[in-house]
């Protein structure tokens, strides 16, 4: 069931229908509005007042929450820039091990390295080659575990953002300790999987989307269950809590607004209105990030690795 749905939305020829894709904010029986208990919390820079937030729960997947874009346009661009210029840098790990070594040798960041490539085709190829970066606890993709020996400092501003969102939703003890930043060029996919490497698998998982829209599949604890398809747009936040925390999920399609039905198109407008105050941000935006995001999606998913009051992943030696 899950794989059949994945292949359906991944298909290029013929392209899929979006008629069964849930649009957040629409009047659909599978979406119910969640009333926030903590909407009186002081506003966080770059976010709307929690009193203005629109939060939905997927009826068919209890615990799967979606916050419909609470970001300002400026804040969306800020997190896009952080993801591209700061996160794929040492000591964080990326999928480009050989490129990372070269970048360290020449003394510049991944983004700065891309700016040195004059040939447009080679530059686009280099941009598409970045697929993930890990923050905080570095993830061992081979053994699918976190490494205590590679516990790096979690970005303080991202940590503050996630703790704020968690507190508004009633998870005020959530501790952001690891993140995987995914970079998706249009046409890319993420296969069905569950997230179960964390010692604390009861803490929620927070997923922030920026850039081009994506079809997100959320199923059950078995691949045999029929998944639901949700359209995620720039600024939307998915929070996997409760029973949904260990459900199979996937991203079978990254698309541009032009591929969507007319009523689903408006992603770009979510980040193109407003000014960029710092001069550095304006230079970076005009210097390539705006072009990059026209054909890409960035996803920042944040996890709590340790159980409450647990200090380390290291296991005590016996004897």
> Is 249 flagged in the annotation as binding?
yes
Distance CA(34)–CA(67), nearest Å, equals 10
> Is 195 flagged in the annotation as binding?
yes
Q: How far is CA 24 from the centre of its chain?
A: 16
Q: Taking residues 4-9, report their average pLDDT.
A: 93
Q: What is the pLDDT of residue 318?
A: 43
> Is 172 flagged in the annotation as binding?
no
Q: Which pLDDT tens digit goes with each residue over 51-105?
A: 999 999 999 999 999 999 999 998 999 999 999 999 998 888 888 865 555 555 5
The confidence band for 231, taking pLDDT boundaries of 50, 70 and 90, is very high
Q: Taking residues 228-251, report their average pLDDT.
A: 93
Is residue 319 over pLDDT 60? no
* Burial of 179: CB neighbours in 10 Å, binned 0-12, 13-18, 19+: buried
User: For residues 223 and 315, which has the higher predicted lDDT (pLDDT)?
Assistant: 223
Q: Which pLDDT tens digit goes with each residue over 291-317?
A: 899 899 999 999 999 988 888 887 655
Q: Which pLDDT tens digit goes with each residue over 144-178?
A: 888 888 999 999 999 999 999 999 999 999 999 99
Delineate the domains of the chain, giving CATH numbers in brackets: 1-95+130-303 (2.60.120.590)
> CA 184, 189, 193, 197: dihedral to nearest 10 degrees?
-20
Distance CA(9)–CA(14), nearest Å, equals 10
What contacts 125, CB < 8 A, 6 or more positions away? Answer: none
Distance CA(222)–CA(228), nearest Å, equals 13
Three-state secondary-structure class, residue 134: strand
The confidence band for 279, taking pLDDT boundaries of 50, 70 and 90, is low
């Amino acid at each position: 069931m899950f794989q059949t749905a994945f292949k359906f939305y991944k298909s290029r020829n013929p392209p899929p229908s979006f008629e069964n894709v849930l649009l957040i904010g629409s009047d659909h029986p599978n979406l119910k509005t969640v009333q926030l208990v903590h909407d009186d919390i002081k506003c966080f820079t770059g976010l709307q007042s929690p009193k203005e937030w629109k939060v939905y729960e997927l009826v068919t997947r209890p615990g799967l929450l979606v916050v419909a874009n609470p970001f300002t346009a400026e804040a969306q661009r800020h997190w896009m820039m952080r993801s591209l210029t700061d996160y794929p840098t040492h000591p964080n790990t990326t999928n480009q091990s050989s490129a990372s070594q070269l970048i360290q040798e020449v003394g510049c960041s991944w983004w700065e390295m891309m700016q040195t490539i004059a040939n447009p085709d080679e530059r686009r190829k280099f941009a598409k080659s970045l697929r993930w970066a890990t923050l905080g606890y570095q993830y061992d993709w081979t053994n699918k575990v976190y490494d205590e020996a590679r516990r790096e400092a979690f970005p303080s501003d991202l940590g503050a953002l996630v703790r704020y969102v968690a507190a508004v939703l009633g998870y005020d003890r959530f501790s952001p300790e690891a993140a995987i930043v995914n970079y998706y060029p249009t046409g890319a996919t993420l296969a069905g999987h569950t997230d179960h490497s964390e010692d604390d698998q009861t803490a929620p998982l927070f997923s922030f989307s920026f850039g081009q829209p994506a079809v997100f599949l959320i199923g059950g604890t078995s691949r045999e269950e029929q998944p639901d398809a949700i359209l995620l747009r720039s600024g939307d936040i998915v929070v996997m809590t409760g029973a949904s925390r260990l459900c199979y999920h996937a991203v079978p399609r990254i698309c541009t607004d032009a591929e969507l039905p007319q009523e689903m198109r408006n992603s770009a407008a979510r980040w193109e209105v407003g000014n960029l105050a710092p001069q550095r941000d304006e230079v970076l935006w005009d210097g390539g990030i705006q072009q990059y995001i026209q054909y890409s999606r960035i996803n920042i998913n944040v996890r709590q690795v340790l159980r409450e009051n647990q200090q380390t992943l290291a296991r005590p030696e016996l004897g």
